[in-house]
Copies of this chain bind each other. A is one copy, B any other.
């Protein structure tokens, strides 16, 4: 029967998993996390209201505090899960078997697309930086935040150089930051940019145009 409690999977390294946590409680917890993600991304940490989060979750404030202890702990949990979710998808990006330029293009495109698909992640990051990464620093699995993309990028870069199709002396960390930047900034600032330029930037056509451009930028730069 579906009662199998083997749901371990241990993704919840969040708050003490004291006891196994019943299905109903786990569902409530999940609804609160989803609601909190939406609220936090929409209004920021200071602008979010715990009552509103509880209401969105169809839960009660009491349950929110039972699960997470405080608004700030909830924030940290949401943040960690957002990072984990991105890391998860990143792992699925297989580029080892591709020619370096194609592999690089895929990394660049993945990043833009993920970012465009998850503006909440961008909003969360911006908020966290406003707090000088105070919460992230408190996280216990910060090392795990180190994206698989960095290593993938390093590998592709090395292969490209070895094959003579990429320039030499590129700093992987700098390039990684640049690739993140080219996508992230576009999504993060889409509202002010749209206002200033007078064009919608969140349409599929606009995103596709952006993808073409930033891929050209990175590949153009990497030419030997």
Which residues of A approach B to under 8 Å, CB–CB? 42-47, 123, 125-133, 136-137, 142, 145-147, 167, 171, 173-175, 177-178, 180-182, 184-186, 188-197, 209-210, 213-214, 216-218, 220-223
Contact = CB atoms under 8 A, between A and B. Distances in A.
A220 B219 CA distance: 9
A129 B185 contact: no
Contact of A129 (B46, B146, B189, B213): B189
A188 B190 CA distance: 15
Given A171-B213, A181-B185, A190 B129 contact: yes
A125 B192 contact: yes
A92 B223 CA distance: 33
A194 B46 contact: no
Contacts of A213: 171, 174-175, 178
Question: Mostly helix, strand, loop or mixed at chain A's interface?
Answer: helix
Contact of A146 (B147, B196, B222): B196
Contact of A195 (B142, B182, B186): B142
A130 B193 CA distance: 13
Contact of A189 (B45, B125, B175): B125
Contacts of A181: 181-182, 184-186
Contacts of A209: 171, 174
Nearest to A212: B174
24 contacts: A42-B130, A44-B44, A44-B127, A44-B130, A125-B189, A126-B189, A128-B192, A129-B189, A129-B190, A136-B192, A136-B195, A142-B195, A146-B197, A167-B220, A173-B197, A174-B213, A177-B185, A178-B214, A181-B184, A181-B185, A181-B186, A182-B182, A220-B221, A220-B223
Contact of A133 (B177, B194, B220): B194
A64 B19 CA distance: 52
A27 to B, nearest CB: 29
